[in-house]
Structure 1
Amino acid sequence: MSTITCLRTYRMPDRPSLIWLEIETRDGLVGLGETFRGGVSVEACLHGELAPWLLGRDARHMEGISRHLLTPYVGYNSSGVEVRSASAVDIALWDLAGQRQGVPLYQALGGGARDSVPVYNTCAGYAFNTNGKRRDIGAADESEGPYDDQVAFMRDAGALAESLLAEGYKAMKIWPFDIYAPASGGHLISLPDLEKGLQPFRQIREAVGNRIEVMCELHSLFGGHSALRICQALEEYNVFWVEDPLCKMDDAASLADLRRRTRVPICGSETLGGLRPFRDLLAQDALDVVMLDLAWCGGFTEGRKIAALAQAYNKPLAPHDCTGPVTLMAGLHMALHAPTAIYQEVVRATLATWYRDIVTDLPVITAGMAQPPALAGLGTRLTEAFKQQPGLIVRETR
């Protein structure tokens, strides 16, 4: 009765980086998955390569399916389109597992390690990185609304921190150095540019002191020399972590060298696929905080092993989401379950706007804490209005 009978994908032309997956089984259940980046390529992989193998298989065999899709014949232990496709499949299969048991997904994983999860606000805007393009944003850009937080942190980060504290957020993440990377390919940052990049951190500390934690995101844009210069300059602002500081986040030796030469904690990396790169980074003492993205790393089956590895090395875990509502719900379930999880990332701009147009349920955040979903499985579904919107690209394989 748990036989997979259909794979169905949904793509929105105005958000081409995103794709949603529904997996149907013979018992009438529908599991929901999602991944981000290269939606057209993922769609082709799901229907052309994965669906012929998945159809007719038992959806309960998540481990066996994950092993086939990640190694050795499809994913090859990389973080490319095949692994993103496999991640969407795995999230949907675990959603089905929770539905079959009639429990929220974190309980299907083995239960919760905590009653709620602290969140931090990634200070992005309303359409950050979802239209397939990235652009540099500065203080001169026009704000598109009250939660256009990327413009806000480049304009007055202190006022932004006060706004977040007023809503119960106790941590925030910003990336003011990004605009200085393209000129040298990330291999040089001048002292004047370094000083301008530090200004938002200075504004935050002057406005609210130590009442809010601040993370610095470097988006894998920098080489070793410039990353070290930034990290050392951030030490006086007591940042909670510096995330993805190097242009090659699977380079364990370089990350370990950077970590030895600075006092700021190093976090990584949402960009990695599968268990092995995390094993290598932790074995070489290259990370202080383990970040994973379930829509990129292989889903829950691989994610729970990465979480166990973080626990074995006594490192905190922080699930990533700055991409889509299903990934956010998945990350919350992992953060509830994983013993060393400390934060779930959220973007208040998207929580207040287009995430609500796509799914039926989103995390409930109270005083900076995400509450556990109550419904079975992921606890959310694609809305009927989303499925009926004009221009939506729907494809089925049976």
Structure 2
Amino acid sequence: MKITDIRTIALKIPLKEGSPVSAYPNRRRIHILVEVSTDEGITGYGESIPYTYGSVAGYIEQQLKPQLIGEDPTQIERLWDKCYRLSFGHGIRGISLYAQSAVEVALWDILGKSRKLPVYEMLGGLCKPKIKAYASLMEYAKPEQVGEISVQWVEQGYKAIKIHQGRKDAVESTKEVRDAVGDDIEIMLDVNGAWNPMEAIRLARILEKYNLTWLEEPIWPVDDYPSLARLREKTTIPIAGGENEHTHTGFRNLITQNAVDIIQPDVIMTGGISTCKKIFALAEAWNLAIATHSFFFGPGVPAAVHLSLSNMRSEWVEINAVPLESFFIKPAYRPVNGYVSAPDKPGLGFEIDWETVKKYMVKEKPNDSLYY
């Protein structure tokens, strides 16, 4: 089997929000679908993180595609190494790795389809039939809105809520959610690197009374691992991070500096499924918990679910609670009664909804980032 084509499709699909409406809904309207075709008629699909579509698509078209046409798509480890070496001079992190991650996920989809096996079977088999999903929230303008929307998701079966509120209202928003959902629902707080080290220590101590499951990326810059290690010594709240780290080499640095209690690799940012498996091995060696990052809607979600179901250390999978106006994969891997499972189907276990793709495809040539 040989790769015959790789193409990138940008979609602009709005969120289907109710009330209250999030503060920045446009941040999640762009989706980048990557399709890898073969001479045997087997097609695999991946997804890139939706930052600067023109750059991701250009890197795939100009750098990865010429090197991969004619290659055997089932030789994933060798092709990963070949593509990663191409990033020398282009930046070994960021756009180049986002593009490579998307293609690598598509190769696993092809491998599973060619072997007639779900990807999780090729990763070692199921460790659990389903995994708990937490409702990952959008950011909201007011703390009371965060509490209000959290109640709605709990009523739909979620057993945990992750808040995305930053410098000004993280503590107040956490209080609103705890008061609204009670003590039986788990709460995670992600401030996206909003605080400096001293602020993080002070605010973490205030937050301890709200019994957080974890505090995510509390310090800027997010790769200030010595400061994260000091924070861990000063608070009882578990510290989580890693969505912005890249490759198993990067996670080695994160882990060996004792920066976090919970690692959060993002399969479409950090290098793909193969890389995540290596990162999982590091987590096991250092006895750390795993919670994959998956704040998107396309093939990256099935990839995260297959990874989470096939290792012993993943307890949660992230789901953007606000649905899309129309999903472009089916099934969409949405939770049922607070849990997500993977179908017993070859590959990543989904099909593309081509009617949705045709309707929402970005037809104009982007001159800049479509993210906002």
- 1:25 aligned to 38, 42, 52, which one? 38
Residue 34 of structure 1 corresponds to which residue in structure 2?
47
Corresponding residue number in structure 2 for 1:185: none
Partner residue in 1 for 2:4: 5
The 1:394–1:383 alpha-carbon spacing in structure 2 relative to 1, beyond 3 Å, is farther
| Cα distance between partner residues in 2 of 1:364 and 1:216 | 22
Structure-1 residue corresponding to 2:320 = 347
Moved more, 164-173 or 386-395: 386-395
Measured against aligned partners, the alpha-carbon deviations of 1:313-335 in whole angstroms (never above 9, x if no partner) come to 11111111212321111111111
Assess, with a 3 A threshold, how the Cα gap between structure 1 residues 237 and 20 changes in structure 2: closer, same or farther: same
Report the CA distance shift for 1:105/1:391 in structure 2 as closer, same or farther (over 3 A).
Answer: closer
Structure 2 counterpart of 1:86: 100
Q: Secondary structure at the match of 2:83?
A: helix
Aligned-partner residue type, residue 341 of structure 2: Q
Give 1:109 deviation, angstroms.
1.6
Q: 2:319–2:334: 8 Å Cα contact kept in structure 1? A: no
Matched, 1:304 2:282: no
Partner SS state of residue 118, structure 1 = strand
Q: How does 1:288-303 map to 2 (within 5 A)?
A: 288-303=261-276
Aligned residue pairs: how many?
350
Mapped to 2, the partners of 1:211 and 1:75 lie a distance apart of 50
Which amino acid in the other structure matches residue 167 of structure 1?
Q
Other structure's SS at 1:56 match: coil
Is 1:379 the counterpart of 2:349 in the alignment? yes
Offset of 1:373 from its aligned partner?
Answer: 2.2
2:156 counterpart letter in structure 1: E
Q: Does 1:246 align with 2:260?
A: no
Which residue matches 1:118?
Answer: 132
Residue correspondence of structure 1 range 93-242 to structure 2 within 5 A: 93-124=107-138, 137-139=140-142, 154-178=143-167, 180=168, 196-242=169-215
Q: 1:35 is matched by which residue type in structure 2?
A: S
- Aligned residue in 2 for 1:332: 305
Offset of residue 156 of structure 1 = 4.4
Residues 163 and 60 of structure 1: CA distance in aligned 2, closer, same or farther (over 3 Å): same
Q: Output the TM-score relative to the length of structure 1.
A: 0.82
Amino acid at match of 2:47: E
Query: Alpha carbons of 1:287 and 1:76: their partners in 2 closer, same or farther (altered >3 Å)?
Result: farther
Change (3 A) 1:363 1:85: same
> 1:318 aligns to what?
291
- Read off the aligned partner of 1:272 and give its amino acid letter: E
Matched residues in 2 for 1:16 and 1:366: separation?
A: 24
- d(CA) in 2 for partners of 1:365, 1:16: 21
What TM-score does the superposition give when structure 2 sets the normalisation length?
0.88
Answer whether contact 1:42 1:82 (CA < 8 A) is retained: yes
CA offsets per residue over residues 322-375 of structure 1, 9 Å max, x none?
A: 12321111111111012211110002212xx33x43112122523211122222
Paired residues of 2:297 and 2:332 also in contact (CA < 8 A)? no
Aligned counterparts of 2:87 and 2:147: Cα–Cα separation in 1: 50
Letter aligned with residue 155 of structure 2: A
C-alpha distance in 1 between matches for 2:364 and 2:62? 15
Report the identity percentage: 28
Answer with 276-285 or 9-18: which moved more.
9-18
Tell me the distance in 1 between the aligned counterparts of 2:348 and 2:175.
39
Q: Which moved more, 1:21-30 or 1:71-80?
A: 71-80
Higher mean alpha-carbon deviation, 300-309 vs 364-373, is at 364-373
> Residue by residue, what CA displacement relative to the aligned partner does 1:121-157 show, whole Å, maximum 9, x if unpaired?
0112xxxxxxxxxxx7413xxxxxxxxxxxxxx2244
Structure 1 residue 261 and structure 2 residue 250: aligned? Answer: no
C-alpha separation between the residues in 1 aligned to 2:361 and 2:127?
A: 42
Distance 1:203 1:172 in 2: 12
Q: 1:240 to 1:157 in 2, by over 3 A?
A: same
Could you tell me which amino acid in structure 2 is paired with residue 171 of structure 1? A
Q: How does 1:272-291 map to 2 (within 5 A)?
A: 272-291=245-264
Amino acid at match of 1:23: V
Distance 2:286 2:85 in 1: 24
What is the Cα deviation at residue 19 of structure 1? 1.4
CA distance 1:384–1:227, shift in 2 (3 Å): same
Query: Runs of 5+ in structure 1 lacking a partner?
Result: 125-135, 140-153, 181-195
Q: Could you say if the C-alpha distance between residues 391 and 333 of structure 1 is closer, same or farther in structure 2, counting changes exceeding 3 Å?
A: closer
Cα separation, partners in 2 of 1:55 and 1:74, compared to 1, 3 Å: farther
Could you say if the C-alpha distance between residues 157 and 389 of structure 1 is closer, same or farther in structure 2, counting changes exceeding 3 Å? closer
The aligned runs of 1:70-85 (5 Å cut-off) are 70-71=84-85, 73-74=87-88, 78-85=92-99
Match of 2:24 in 1: none
**Residue aligned with 1:373, SS:** coil
Residue of structure 2 equivalent to 1:69: 83
